Amino acid sequence: MKSDELIREKMQKEGLSEAAIRAMLHGVTELRSGQKMTISEDEIQPVPELPNWEELVESTEPADAELLRKMVIIKLNGGLGTSMGLQKAKSLLSIKPGVNFLDLIVRQALTLQREAGCTVQLLLMNSFSTSADTLQHLQRYASAGLFKHVKDVELMQNKVPKLLRDTLEPVMLPGHEEMEWCPPGHGDLYAALAGNEGLEKLLQRGIRYAFVSNSDNLGAQPDGRFLRWFAQSGAPFVMEVTERTEADKKGGHLAVRKADEQLILREVAQCAEQDITSFQDISRHRFFNTNNLWIRLDALYDYMRQHDGVVPLPIICNAKTADPRDPQSAPVYQLETAMGAAIQCFSGARAVNVPRTRFFPVKTTSDLLLLRSDAVEIDDTGRMQLAPECHGTAPVISLNHPSYKMVDSLDALGAPSLKHVKHLTIDIPWHFEPGTILRGDVHIKD
């Protein structure tokens, strides 16, 4: 097909790997085939009870140095946080005074390294937008023993061309070439690992296990006890899931495909309109993906060799315009994939029900206010936990006024004590005096 040739040529000129090109062409083939991109309620059934994280780790010995040497920690670090007014890597956002997400990720890796007495491999999957800022910040850890060269910790995310909707050929925007490209979603992890023989090199160094999570999820801390359980389980792929609440009903959920009883992930973009009510029924579909994954790298390598060098993930097809600021510009498709969807590719893949404290992402200023408050404690090892006064349940924060959309607005709000709060809702501009202690359900409105 002419479009395939043009896509390959464009990506090769940009220096993208064969693995990235094949993954993109697989997505285009899926789109062109006209196959149904939705998963109907009739095709799936709810997931029954799952193994419990706390029970598994309580009954398992911690990993020793030999096992930890075989693990790589991968953090997805491609986001800029533009929705909160940031123009730099989101992981450089301050959480506590003088400490950002990236500092805590490094602390956690160094703690494991110190406890195990061996080097722990850390990789950050940066995007072209976050690479420079991230590597510059990491220079301060050059003498900590985590890496020899700062580039050693970078796994570069690919980019993919936007496609004209009528021909599926790459869009051309002379003078605005940067707008011809879009991010491929975190499902690009597998192509990024395979690119330039990176996956082979990890295996040659004896690394067999990968723990993958988002850099803005401080609850996703590598755990040596779970690593040992994962290694002993023989599972090629394990997804950490947690119980859905009303706040999560629009997010993707885990399900069992009736045809072969395979675990799959269904995102809202894959749900037909008539099934939305069932999709959002949290009593029926109880578990959602935290995006914390444990992957056997040798199993991933074997799988990709058997499937023409790709992990054939379901595509998410976004209809956009070439210039997002100009609704009259060329209509295009932006193709992306989700890395958690790979659970359907591995026979023997498993899921484990984890406590909510392992899912603590920062997507909004409401999330950030909670992390910066006394309801969240972060120690010198980088470990995050809720204050004892929270009794295991994080306060629910809702900053509803438009003035609180951006990070800078939190300085004017102040920093009240939140460790005794169940719900805090703020509908108007407000300021808390230093030392303010809130309790129970608090709603500030006109």
- Annotated catalytic residues are 363
- Position 155: which residue type? L
Burial annotation 250-283 (CB, 10 A radius, 16+ → b, else e): eebbbbbeeeeebbbbbbeebbeeebeebbbbbe
What angle in degrees, to the nearest 10, is found between the helix axes of 18-33 and 2-13?
150
How many CA atoms within 13 Å lie on the side-chain side of 292? 27
Q: What are phi and psi of 215, to 5 degrees?
A: -70, -20
User: Which residue in 108, 111, 79 sits closest to 93, CA to CA?
Assistant: 79
| DSSP letter string, 188-207 | GHHHHHHGGGHHHHHHHTT-
- Which tokens go with 213? 């999570």
Mention every residue, 6+ apart, whose C-beta is less than 8 A from residue 6: 169, 170
User: Which residue in 95, 410, 332, 354 sits closest to 242, CA to CA?
Assistant: 354
Q: How far apart are the first and last CA of the chain?
A: 61
